[in-house]
Structure 1
Amino acid sequence: MLTLASSPMLYPLTDRAVIGLTGADRTKYLQGQVTCDVNQLNPGDATAGGHCDSKGKLWASFWLANLGEQLLLVLNRSLVARQLPELKKFAVFADTEVEDVSSQWQVFGLAGEGLSHWLNHQLGDGNLLQGGIVIPVAAEHALLLLPQGVELAELAELPRGSEQEWQGLMIHAGLPDMSAEHQGEYIPQMLNLQAIGGISFTKGCYMGQETVARAKYRGANKKAMFVLTGTAAGDIGVNQDLELQLGDNWRRAGTVLSVWQQGESCLLTSVLNKDMEADAVFRIKGQDDSRLSLQPLPYELVD
């Protein structure tokens, strides 16, 4: 089964896109678009966040980093085609450029026991590194962005891991990774963004803010993202249906948000009803012999 490596490993990532914002109004503009508090980020700081439509449904979940002269959003590449035009829509009224700058960046995952010590040795103070940035995403897990062409001898010494393994580590850490199939379906709290610091409830207005606030203060949200583990002989894909066992019957419960598989072992995330019983049994629709159970989340699930 998937476990954290005993020492830091490097995971080259090809499925991440990077959106850059430059110009004098970049912070002010993004502050009015996303769920996180952009104003609170100093150079070298980073946070989780979400970008919603006017109804509070997510175009994207992302990691946001402040490089000083540029803001960078790191997200699933499949989201960009629909999300980027929405993010750029009102930028014509501000002194800011919003661009897909993926070709300018190398994106890596870093994970393993002792990673924080290794990073302290490499970085010293702050998270800025050789024109790039380290984004802590969980204990002993981080994203690393480096400009194209920059090579670090220290990275060359780290053992390499697969992209699929990194996906599994992100799932195990309870971190959301939505794909294009789920754009416009979930409000930010359904992906647990509030539990990982991705929503500010004090920053003021942004796109979809009324829906997000209502979910918190009126208890309007009845769903959350859960981690499930188990076995399945067949391949599991994003957006496949999950079924919940009810006595001798099975009922649709949700769909696969992200997935890791190795042999018959699997680990996945899915948005389910918040009142789900801890011992609930699930299966992949069409794979009657598959079985999945809920795993405890590594953080408190607050509204």
Structure 2
Amino acid sequence: MPVFTIPSSPKLYPLTDRAVISLTGEERVKYLQGQVTCDVTSLAEGDACAGGHCDSKGKLWASFWLANQGEQLLLVLNSSLVARQLPELKKFAVFAKTDIEDASAQWQVFGLAGEGLSHWLSHEAGDGNLWQGGVIIPVAAEHALLVLPKDATLPDLPTGEEQEWQGLMIQAGLPDMSAEHQGDYIPQMLNLQAIGGISFTKGCYMGQETVARAKYRGANKKAMFILQGTATAQVTVNQDLELQLGENWRRAGTVLSVCQQHDQCVLTSVLNKDLDAGTVLRFKDQPDSRLQLLPLPYQLED
């Protein structure tokens, strides 16, 4: 099975599918605070967190990692989201002293993972997360994103494959939505509350009423789960999943993100929260495929 074990020592994973959106200007924090689910004002220089950007109905344009790089705020996200998400993020910026742009051409993004990564980072970067003109974004235990200027000197570490990083992120229960799912899910359906990506005390932001209702009225019946199993063909994002009910199969959800090695795969999908741990699933167009749920590495609450 493609269960990815964290490397025994830190590795560097060049990531080709990440975009970086930059916010500069004196009102960048105030503006972004009113747009996204996380508490931007709580981030000191070098701090980072997960977050989401919603439409007025609380459906996600993007999930992302946000870092306070000092002179600017950086959002790191799946590059397929930018075409629709960036215009929405900029929509009201004309009324604020902030400039928002796709800065992907100025930055390079890497994954960092391995036993001893925190020790390596403390030795290389010191106590803060600002390093080489860029920023380190912790995303899970011994896992981080590294955002560096294009001309920065890269850390002297062995490199790993992008697919391995994707597998590690899936196993860590970290969401990675792409353009196929824009407008489909509220933040809690991607478990953003479980990884510190939603503040329920920060006040108003785009879609905030829906997010609050899901928490305080129990309105959300779905969550993101990790699955592993066998496939009989190539698996793609947004592929339909079915769950077994006796001798019958019923549509359950779609593939959110996937890592596949030959006929073995691990993936994330948004499914009903009340699924039994022993539920059997398959890809709709691959009748002989079989998938099972893996336990999430964190507790789920709305």
CA-to-aligned-CA distance 1:191-241 (integer Å, 9 cap, x gap): 000000000000000000000000000000000000001111211000000
Q: How far does residue 82 in structure 1 lie from its aligned partner after superposition? A: 0.1
Q: Of 103, 106, 122, which aligns to 1:120?
A: 122
The residue number in structure 1 matching 2:256 is: 257
Provide the secondary structure at the position in 2 that maps to 1:207: coil
Alpha-carbon contact 2:132-2:153 (below 8 Å) kept: no
Which runs of structure 1 show a deviation greater than 3 angstroms over 4 or more consecutive aligned residues? none
The match for 2:82 is: 80
Aligned counterpart, 1:233: 232
Matched to 1:271, the amino acid is V
What does the per-residue CA deviation read over 1:284-303, in whole Å, with 9 as the maximum and x for residues that have no partner? 11111111000000000111
Q: Which residue is equivalent to 2:135?
A: 133
Matches within 5 A, 1:1-303: 1=2, 2-152=4-154, 155-156=155-156, 158-303=157-302
3-state SS of paired residue (1:160): coil
| Cα distance between partner residues in 2 of 1:76 and 1:223 | 22
SS in 2 for 1:117: helix
Aligned partner of residue 7 in structure 1, secondary structure? coil
For these two proteins, the number of residue pairs brought into alignment is 300
Counterpart residue type for residue 97 of structure 1: D
For residues 51 and 285 of structure 2, what CA distance do their matches in structure 1 show?
34
Letter in 2 for 1:273: N
| TM-fit CA distance, 1:264 | 1.3
Distance 1:101 1:285 in 2: 39
Letter in 2 for 1:270: S
* Equivalent-residue separation in structure 1 for 2:181 and 2:134 (angstroms): 30
Structure 2: gaps (5+ residues): none
After TM superposition, give the deviation of residue 4 of structure 1 in Å.
1.1
Identity %: 79
Pairwise CA distance, 1:140: 0.6
Deviation of 1:68 (Å): 1.1
What per-residue deviation string (whole Å, max 9, x for no partner) do you get for residues 5-46 of structure 1?
Answer: 111111000100000000000000000000000000000000
Q: Kindly provide the CA deviation profile for residues 231-289 of structure 1, in whole angstroms up to 9, marking residues without a partner as x.
A: 11211000000000000011100000000011211000000000001000000111111
Report the aligned-residue RMSD: 0.6
Q: Which 5+ residue runs of structure 1 have no aligned equivalent?
A: none
CA–CA separation in structure 2 for the residues paired with 1:116 and 1:125: 10
TM-score calculated relative to the size of structure 2: 0.98
Alpha-carbon distance in 2 for matches of 1:281, 1:67 = 44
Note the C-alpha offset of 1:130.
Answer: 1.1
Letter in 2 for 1:28: K
Once residues 181 and 256 of structure 1 are traced to their aligned partners in structure 2, the CA distance between those partners, rounded to angstroms, is: 10
Distance 1:52 1:237 in 2: 24
User: Aligned partners of 2:10, 2:262: CA distance in 1, in Å?
Assistant: 24
- Residues of 2 paired with 1:131 and 1:114: CA distance? 23
Give CA-to-partner distance per residue, 1:141-194, whole Å, 9 cap, x none. Answer: 000001011113xx23x1111111111110000000000000000000000000
Rounded Cα–Cα distance in structure 2 between residues aligned with 1:113 and 1:130: 22
Query: TM-score, with normalisation over the residues of structure 1?
Result: 0.98
- The letter for the 1-side match of 2:189 is M
Counterpart amino acid of 1:24?
A: E
